[in-house]
Structure 1
């Protein structure tokens, strides 16, 4: 395996891990990084989705105590059963819409104008949410949600099917608008990411398996490793950050990145087509 290619895989893994759970869209960053590294062929697109599994492993480890206690209590405790049901209910809308609209979205929405617009618009939405009068908090902890709250968040997550939106950004900010505390919205966004991203990675690998071979294992292994390590650090940092900070810096970053998308597209520096 080419050492240079492994270094590129490591860089892409770091980009995935650092951006997957922040409200800044990992997809846009992976496209830009891949274009700059010359790592943007069809196999690289499968790689980008597959290495999300490494980032999800980091979430599982950070939340392992909660996940383990829920699984142990699942057969007998109503609270654990309600929590798992909420995750399933929130997961279903993205699966249904993703299967129905995935090809259309990829062929029609993954264009520079859409990516840049969603980056910039998302930034202004975050600024608006952070500066407006706060919504009365109904739900302090993710465990306090009912299935209707979960369904609403699942529908909000579907917005992330539009490139540049950010899955974590949509669910966290959407949750805050629906009356969840910042912590509850962030926690549930992470819980919901587990089936969502594992499912997307598995589906992509099965669908595109003809493009892959055993020779690709080192490439994918390096990407998964660095995705895991960077995501572990990022998730731990974000959970501390939200206890005393707003998401305003991420909003300004999104706006700036949207401008970068436009500039790199107009100058032909980055090929932004899917």
Structure 2
């Protein structure tokens, strides 16, 4: 495998890691970078390229697990002492695994029902542009009309009703370009959560639904894990993990301060640039 192919893997992994959990649409960026500049599908074949995108998404998921490792240990009941401490600090409240599951149900069900349709008809530059614009509008709307003084300042205070409502709003992210974090953080803010609380819940929910979807896709594409393609996959996975780790930590520190409008503006600017360059 030549060095150019590995550099493509590095760049695609970087794009995935930096954009997967920011409200800017990783799918949109991946389609744009891959189709307009890198054309990785021509390097190793369409199906290997599709498998690669699954692999680098798993790298991003691993980064979330690392950042929220203590939270996941608590949710799974593997650290009773830590859970007791958090429960006391939050006045007897803490995020429950059942709340996360409730939030996962709507998008999980729709994703399974319409997976083939989405893969066949919605992954294109045009549909991504629509998702980027509509998602930006939702984010601006959330910042303007969301509660100025959020009632829920920590993810531990989220209710089952809010978790389910955010789950339904997450269904918007099935449209490529809309962004999972963009839709769910916007929905959370509109429902009375702080930007940080909504972001925390978004990232925690993302792990099981993304891992499940990626796992199923990986099983379907297992035959493409050849010795020739492995360096391509490994470089992309590591790149996505490292850059996602950096991106998540940076995003969580800033989200309560900068909120969503700067990301919405970025999305609109990106749409203008894509239209000029691509069309």
Q: TM-score, normalised by structure 1?
A: 0.88
Tell me which stretches of 4 or more aligned residues in structure 1 moved more than 6 Å: 74-81
1:102-142 Cα distance to aligned partner (Å, 9 max, x none): 11122233343322122112212222322336365232211
Distance (Å, rounded) in 2 between the aligned partners of 1:263 and 1:27: 20
Residue in 1 that maps onto 2:54: 49
How much does 1:194 deviate?
A: 0.8
Alignment of 1:111-130 (within 5 A): 111-130=124-143
Alignment of 1:223-238 (within 5 A): 223-238=236-251
Alignment of 1:239-254 (within 5 A): 239-254=252-267
**1:197 is the counterpart of 2:210:** yes
How much does 1:226 deviate?
A: 0.6
Whether the aligned pair in 2 keeps the contact of 1:91 and 1:196 (CA below 8 Å) is yes
1:156-177 Cα distance to aligned partner (Å, 9 max, x none): 1111110110011111111111
Residue in 2 that maps onto 1:145: 158
Distance (Å, rounded) in 2 between the aligned partners of 1:51 and 1:22: 16
Distance (Å, rounded) in 1 between the aligned partners of 2:94 and 2:258: 32
Residue in 2 that maps onto 1:269: none
> Structure 1 residues 136 and 208 mapped into 2: Cα distance closer, same or farther (>3 Å)?
same
Distance (Å, rounded) in 2 between the aligned partners of 1:186 and 1:147: 17
> Structure 1 residues 13 and 200 mapped into 2: Cα distance closer, same or farther (>3 Å)?
same
Residue in 2 that maps onto 1:11: 11
Residue in 1 that maps onto 2:110: 97
Q: TM-score, normalised by structure 2?
A: 0.87
Q: What secondary structure, in the 3-state scheme, does the structure 2 residue paired with 1:72 have? A: coil
Whether the aligned pair in 2 keeps the contact of 1:124 and 1:255 (CA below 8 Å) is no
Alignment of 1:1-274 (within 5 A): 1-35=1-35, 36-40=37-41, 41-70=46-75, 71-73=77-79, 83-132=96-145, 134=147, 137-266=150-279
1:14-45 Cα distance to aligned partner (Å, 9 max, x none): 00000001100000111121121121323212
How much does 1:209 deviate?
A: 2.1
Residue in 2 that maps onto 1:272: none
Distance (Å, rounded) in 2 between the aligned partners of 1:124 and 1:22: 16
> Structure 1 residues 147 and 131 mapped into 2: Cα distance closer, same or farther (>3 Å)?
closer
Moved more, 55-64 or 123-132: 123-132
Whether the aligned pair in 2 keeps the contact of 1:112 and 1:262 (CA below 8 Å) is no
Whether the aligned pair in 1 keeps the contact of 2:132 and 2:267 (CA below 8 Å) is yes
1:190-236 Cα distance to aligned partner (Å, 9 max, x none): 10111122112111111122333243222211111010110111111
Q: What secondary structure, in the 3-state scheme, does the structure 1 residue paired with 2:96 have? A: helix
Q: Which runs of 5+ in 2 are unaligned?
A: none
Whether the aligned pair in 2 keeps the contact of 1:139 and 1:184 (CA below 8 Å) is yes
Distance (Å, rounded) in 2 between the aligned partners of 1:126 and 1:150: 18
